[in-house]
Structure 1
Amino acid sequence: MEWLGLQFVTELPESGQVILNCTHDPVLVLVAYLVACAASFATLDMAERVGHAENPGARRVWRWIGGACLAGGIWAMHFIGMLAFQAPIEIHYHLPTTLFSLLIALLASALAMHTLSVAQPSLARCLRTAVVIGLGIASMHYVGMAAMQSSATAYYQPSLFGLSIVIAVGASFAALWVAGYLREGSGVAHQVLKYVAALMLGAGIISMHFTGMAALQLVLPDGAAPTMAVETSHLQLGLTVALIILLILGSAISAAMADKKLQNKEHDLRRVNALLSQLDQARMSLQQVANYDALTNLINRRGFNQLFAEKLSQKASEGGMLAVMFLDIDHFKRINDSLGHDAGDALLKVIASHIKSSVRSHEDVVARFGGDEFCILISLRDREEARNMAQRIMLKMKEPIELAGRRMVMTTSIGISLFPHDGSTCEELLKHADLALYQSKGAGRNGLHFFSPSLKTRASFELQLEEELRNALREEHALMLYYQPIFELKTGRVTKLEALIRWQHPTHGLLTPDRFIGIAENNGLIAELDNWVLRRACKDLGELSRHGCEDLKIAWNCSPLNLAREELADEIESALRTAGVAPERLELEVTENALMGNIANTLVLLRQIRALGVSLSIDDFGTGYSSLAYLKRLPLNTLKIDRSFILDIPTATADMEIVQAIIVMAHTLHLQVVTEGVESLEQYEFLERSGCDFIQGYLLSRPVPLDELRPVLEEINQRKPSHAVNPLSLAHGTFAPMSLDPSPKNPAPHAGASVVRPIR
């Protein structure tokens, strides 16, 4: 086969002279390899720039530059390789054919760069492109070979000819794959890998060229005399071409590096601008978070305090009044407990909008401090403006709200303090408005109160009592127990005592529980106080046993807050074991409401206490839930009827019927019945006729300390006949009340003593 005068698969003629002593200049071979490596590196660099360029125009420019570098490099390598070829005949090169080979190289390179501009070319596409590019490079090579003009005829060995094409295709595929792999990455390792790839690709390109040259055989026609080769400076020309192409490639690589640095600077600048923008957004977000409530979009406590300080300073210098309003939603916890926190959040949004619509948007500040607590700061001319606004808010709050498929009406309690009358600092005014709010809540809620100095006095007094109560718990004799006898009607003896705590205050004298139990419950002292009563009662019970009262039981009241503690059963067992008292001699009294707070957990705890052997009594029965469904599930021993049911006996028929019904019900459930607050013989007679088991009250004795208890017990027990007490014996005076007043009822004193409970 002959193409462009070249014999590719034609056998060598039988006659003719084969030129065997063709050689290559090693310096130009090395220069050709360096040019091939430089072209490969430039191509990889241009492919990387195409991949990183953001502007389509820039990508197009770098694609053409890369194609020119690749074409120029391959063609220059081929040209220098041809100059390195040394034959013992005169060889000339046909210029148009040589330029045509350059055109083929440009087309092949353009196709290569087009494929490299694709972000992630598929393997099939790379293979197809590699075949086309390889054929193009081979065509460029052999067209360039066809430009050789001499007296000899060029023949090619078919095997080496085919191998050169395979090498061209393989080198093209390697270039495409390596360029795609090196598109992403940075750093020293990435650059070293690019250098190594350029050396390997350069070796592949020059291997194709010299494989094709190795396939070449020049044959002189028979009888033709070889013309001597003219001495030409091929080395100088080859070096000149190499220098020119290397300068071009170096310029392209330098331009790519400069563009890369410029693009990196632009990226850095954009990143800096983006970071600055993000910082501004973060600052605004932080300011929003720091000063605004995310749920209602009202300002929060921090933002309110800043505005409050500014307005306060302004009013202090210019004159005028300010009002601080604390708002608390009445019974808001029920919404969260019954409908869930999502419904509670939705309600808070509605309430916030109600409050905002009730104030002057341009003058007044509305804030949410947390939970269901809101605060309003308003400028005003007189006190009535604050009252009118508070009433307007309360009226707005009474509008029905649709929530979770229900229509509900919420109410609010409001406390108000005024500047400058109620304080001159932010802290004072907020504290005084809070005190006024608590007065509103304590007065039944759904109301408003202004601050008054008496509130501060009472708050200071309660704070002082809290501190002194903490000290009293650490002292030996500040707290004490009083005991009130509980008389058993069947045996006619005192068989139980109720332990009642008292506080011997150094300034205010003997304080009953109603003065300090609430303080203990509100300040986390109730568990410690309950434990003190428990241990002292067990200790006193052991003392009574050593004086012949080994059958007496002591009833001890437990706070509802303490009843929710899992440690209570262990504390009771520890107190009994320390005092050496049998568990059957201790009775735990709890109220109905405390039992029903969390019935499941309460049942578990009560069964643990009951398993110790401690008796259980339900106190103040009839004033709470009085649910038979729960009552039959509780491991109770005793039911205690509240004194409110017997106050008007024997004149109140309805109360008498209720008491009788409670006694019958309790006996049906196998419970003993204690009636407290018994103060007259008529009440005693009625209870004895109704089958009551125990009585307790001023008819027997006031609560007395331990050192006065034994004479009282002896006197009560000695007043009975040898048989059980009966109405006839009472009528004949064999049993007389121990009241300190001549009348059967003691209005002021016994009301406190009967109503006042031990720890609630």
Structure 2
Amino acid sequence: MMSEYDLPLVISSFLVAVLAAYAALYFGARLANANGGARRRWLASGALLMGTGVWTMHFVGMRAMPMDVAMTFDVLMTAISWFAAVLASGVALHIIGRNRLGMLLFGGATLSMAGGIVVMHYLGMYAMRMSAPPTFNIGFLIGSVAIAVVASGAALALCRKLQHMNGPGSLAIQFVAALVMAGAICGMHYTGMMAMIFPEGAVPAADNGLRGEWMGIPLAVFCIALLAVALVVTVVDVKHQRELASFKEEEDKRVAELAFTDAVTGLPNRSALEQRLLDILARDNAGGNPFALIYLDIANFRELSTGMGDESLNAVIREISAALRDQMSDQTFLARYSASAFFALVPDPEDSQHAFMYKRLRQIDQRIGTSAMPVTWRAGQSTYPVTGNSTRKLVLAAMVPRDLNEIGHFRNMAPGPELVLPGHNRHS
């Protein structure tokens, strides 16, 4: 009867089973994203932890069973029972860690693990080499095998499910799964112990080399320590994986930003401007959100850059772009379009908030320059939807030169049949 069992040892056996199940679930789940040497390490670790944990749970549970004589075990049979548990766990985790898994392979993994547990359990009991052969309760025997199969199938299914989960939530689910697995493992063990009955008065073989005292609390403590180390490894690994994921996210963000950022000035670049225009034009109510494009080009850029090295020229461009930024109103999107040109995208261009910006831009020749040489500006503008309804038309219209005094005056804006820049062929 369970009431006769040593309760501390029963609790210890369950604790070992929980830790073994938790560690094995985690290590098994890591197989999905591991390759080469890393996969072999996770597989070996998972098999060792799960097999050793289930094996330890079995012998600690056996020590919890009351006996009138000292419990001893045959060393070779005990070692083989441990190897059977580890090997079966390894085969099962190897199969379950595959990218694609059909029902046939899943069934094979389940039977492999269940078979290893059953062999380990009954071989471990036979390792006592009693003076009289055991008898079996067929009902409990079949029940123990059935529990091993169901428990193994559930464990591997949970392991498979956890392979596709990330984040703190997966760890909580993994812990609940470990509790369920541990209950099933312990259920199989104690059912199996009731299935195999030794006659009253039977004693272990005198030449058994392994004393039972080492198979109780000392073994449980050792295994718990081993599993605790493994769990620390999993915690470190989780932290490392999160750091890698965070670094990758930041790196992807940085790369994306670089793709849309001018390296010299830090302003949005041509791609960023075109993307912003496409986003606006793609809105359902785009026609109800007018905007203007103001083109600002350094007309004497060639003369300005003559004789300058790259660093000196970049410093001048940064100085000019900073001054240009200062002229913009709060809602204006300023981008560097080319080496010498900038575009300002102005939302709701008729709004009075932009009045001072237009006034400053009309005086841009006097406001923005360099100490080495005055800067001469060429400007143009277009408006949506009056001038055009596509990115190409709006940009080309804005690049048609206009008098600086026309900046910000949109009343006379009109679409052209086909806008062509000076020096460009109409059909090019």
Cα separation, 2, equivalents of 1:325 and 1:148: 97
Note the residue ranges of structure 2 that are not aligned, 5 or more in a row.
279-292, 299-323, 325-339, 342-363, 417-421, 423-428
Instruction: Tell me whether 1:287 sits opposite 2:265 in the alignment.
Output: no
Equivalent residue, structure 1, for 2:226: 248
Change (3 A) 1:302 1:128: same
Change (3 A) 1:312 1:26: closer
Deviation at 1:120, TM superposition (A): 5.4
Change (3 A) 1:289 1:130: closer
Instruction: Tell me whether 1:302 sits opposite 2:295 in the alignment.
Output: yes
Counterpart contact for 1:28–1:81, Cα < 8 Å: yes
Cα separation, 2, equivalents of 1:134 and 1:186: 28
Deviation at 1:33, TM superposition (A): 1.6
Change (3 A) 1:72 1:304: same
Deviation at 1:201, TM superposition (A): 0.9
Equivalent residue, structure 1, for 2:113: 133
- SS of equivalent to 1:118: coil
Instruction: Tell me whether 1:43 sits opposite 2:43 in the alignment.
Output: no
Counterpart contact for 1:152–1:219, Cα < 8 Å: yes
Counterpart contact for 1:90–1:229, Cα < 8 Å: no
Partner amino acid for 1:43? A
Provide TM-score, normalisation by structure 2.
0.63
Change (3 A) 1:227 1:145: closer
> Higher strand proportion, which one?
1
Equivalent residue, structure 1, for 2:287: none
Counterpart contact for 1:22–1:88, Cα < 8 Å: no
Deviation at 1:253, TM superposition (A): 1.2
Equivalent residue, structure 2, for 1:200: 180
Equivalent positions of 1:317-332 (< 5 A) are none
Alpha-carbon RMSD: 4.5
Counterpart contact for 2:73–2:204, Cα < 8 Å: no
Counterpart contact for 1:92–1:150, Cα < 8 Å: no
Deviation at 1:226, TM superposition (A): 6.2
Change (3 A) 1:173 1:163: same
Partner amino acid for 2:8? V
Equivalent residue, structure 2, for 1:522: none
Equivalent positions of 1:336-375 (< 5 A) are 368-370=396-398, 374-375=400-401
Equivalent positions of 1:77-226 (< 5 A) are 77-89=57-69, 91-119=71-99, 121-186=101-166, 189-219=169-199
Cα separation, 2, equivalents of 1:93 and 1:319: 97
Note the residue ranges of structure 1 that are not aligned, 5 or more in a row.
1-19, 350-366, 377-416, 418-425, 442-447, 449-760
Q: What per-residue deviation string (whole Å, max 9, x for no partner) do you get for residues 359-396 of structure 1? A: xxxxxxxx8444xx7128xxxxxxxxxxxxxxxxxxxx
- SS of equivalent to 2:15: helix
Partner amino acid for 2:269? Q
Counterpart contact for 1:67–1:110, Cα < 8 Å: yes
Question: Which among 31, 50, 61 is matched to residue 41 of structure 2?
Answer: 61
Q: What per-residue deviation string (whole Å, max 9, x for no partner) do you get for residues 330-383 of structure 1? A: xxx9xx9xxxx99x97xx79xxxxxxxxxxxxxxxxx8444xx7128xxxxxxx
Change (3 A) 1:283 1:71: same
Counterpart contact for 2:5–2:65, Cα < 8 Å: yes
Equivalent residue, structure 2, for 1:695: none
Cα separation, 1, equivalents of 2:131 and 2:2: 16
Partner amino acid for 2:125? M
Instruction: Tell me whether 1:34 sits opposite 2:15 in the alignment.
Output: yes
Change (3 A) 1:96 1:234: closer
Provide TM-score, normalisation by structure 1.
0.37
Cα separation, 1, equivalents of 2:370 and 2:197: 109
Cα separation, 2, equivalents of 1:167 and 1:61: 30
Instruction: Tell me whether 1:259 sits opposite 2:252 in the alignment.
Output: no
Partner amino acid for 2:194? A
Instruction: Tell me whether 1:239 sits opposite 2:265 in the alignment.
Output: no
Counterpart contact for 1:29–1:81, Cα < 8 Å: yes
Cα separation, 1, equivalents of 2:24 and 2:374: 80
Deviation at 1:200, TM superposition (A): 1.5
Cα separation, 2, equivalents of 1:302 and 1:248: 69
Equivalent residue, structure 1, for 2:344: none
Deviates more, 1:194-203 or 1:72-81: 194-203
Partner amino acid for 1:26? L
Deviation at 1:188, TM superposition (A): 5.2
Counterpart contact for 1:47–1:117, Cα < 8 Å: yes
Deviation at 1:171, TM superposition (A): 0.7
Cα separation, 2, equivalents of 1:326 and 1:190: 57
Counterpart contact for 2:73–2:211, Cα < 8 Å: no
**Sequence identity (%):** 24
Deviation at 1:131, TM superposition (A): 1.6
Deviation at 1:35, TM superposition (A): 1.1
Change (3 A) 1:228 1:326: closer
Equivalent residue, structure 2, for 1:275: 253
- SS of equivalent to 2:176: helix
Deviation at 1:54, TM superposition (A): 4.9
Q: What per-residue deviation string (whole Å, max 9, x for no partner) do you get for residues 437-461 of structure 1? A: x9xx9xxxxxx9xxxxxxxxxxxxx
- SS of equivalent to 2:198: strand
Q: What per-residue deviation string (whole Å, max 9, x for no partner) do you get for residues 78-119 of structure 1? A: 111222233334553111111111111111010121123124
Deviation at 1:23, TM superposition (A): 5.6
Change (3 A) 1:234 1:316: closer
Cα separation, 2, equivalents of 1:263 and 1:212: 40
Task: Compare CA radii of gyration and give the structure with the larger one.
Answer: 1
Counterpart contact for 1:94–1:148, Cα < 8 Å: yes
Q: What per-residue deviation string (whole Å, max 9, x for no partner) do you get for residues 583-628 of structure 1? A: xxxxxxxxxxxxxxxxxxxxxxxxxxxxxxxxxxxxxxxxxxxxxx
Counterpart contact for 1:28–1:84, Cα < 8 Å: yes
Deviation at 1:234, TM superposition (A): 4.9
Partner amino acid for 1:301? I
Partner amino acid for 1:35? V
